Amino acid sequence: MALAEAGARGRLLRWPRLLLFGDSITEYSFQENGWGTYLAERLVRKCDVLNRGISGYNSRWAKVILPRLIPGNTSADSIVAVTIFFGANDSALKELNPKQHVPLEEYTANLKSMVQYLKSVDITADKIILITPPPLQESAWEKACLAKGEKLNRCNGTTGQYAQACVQVARECSTDVIDLWTLMQKDQDFSSYLSDGLHLSAKGNSFLAAQLWSRLENKLSALPSLLPYWRDVDHTNPEASLL
């Protein structure tokens, strides 16, 4: 059978999508043992896990981008979940990092705006997961800053205010939330969750992956595998199984 004819006869294969939207902590999530990799491995042949992490970005810029990632004509049924993971850059200290800093009130409004946009394109609240910034280990991050000729440009107390705002937005908008800032600090030595005081270590990636999977497993593990198991394909007439 010619490929064009097969294409005309068969249904278009569309993988459902899980969108990971955030800053560098999301961008790096597809590295070895990353939290995004963990999800992709468990959802292979069930849905595509799309990494839309953009290093250095804040919620102000994210709000502008989101409609370009999920335009209004997107089929809401094709989106199984969206994570929104900003705040680590927003919470940078204004006097030392004015380019990335976003005031707390604006950060709150930006998160609400993104959630409201998703709802406006029929992505329901139960498909949206907000993630707070993780805690900041100041001494380790100060070393990273000094290595670049900069001063310490973040502090954990300020990051905590942004985390609390994220939790409040989730409560008001009826979405799920993972409060990394609080959860990781239940361990007295939370620095082990971080590679440089800000970004996630292997342990931190594993921790976030487990938190996310506990929320997604019931929803997504039941998704059917796309295309039949190879032993179930009729090798004498594969079109009958595959189209």
Of 32, 20, 112, the closest CA to residue 70 belongs to: 20
Cβ proximity of 203 and 193 under 8 Å? yes
* Residue 90 among the catalytic residues: no
**Among 91, 101, 179, 199, the one annotated catalytic:** 199
How large is the angle between the packed helices 104-120 and 156-173, nearest 10 degrees?
30
Q: Residue 13: CA atoms inside 13 Å, Cβ hemisphere, count? A: 13
**Among 48, 196, 201, 241, the one annotated catalytic:** 196
Q: Is the dihedral of CA 151, 156, 157, 163 positive or negative?
A: positive
* Residue 24 among the catalytic residues: yes
* Residue 196 among the catalytic residues: yes
Q: How far is CA 90 from CA 25, 105, 122, 161, 201, in A?
A: 13, 11, 27, 11, 21
Of 51, 238, 37, 62, the closest CA to residue 166 belongs to: 62
Distance between CA atoms of residues 93 and 28, nearest Å? 23
- Alpha carbon of residue 33 to chain centroid: 15
- Three-state secondary-structure class, residue 230: helix
Of 19, 14, 11, the closest CA to residue 79 belongs to: 19
Distance between CA atoms of residues 32 and 40, nearest Å? 12
Q: Which residues are catalytic?
A: 24, 196, 199
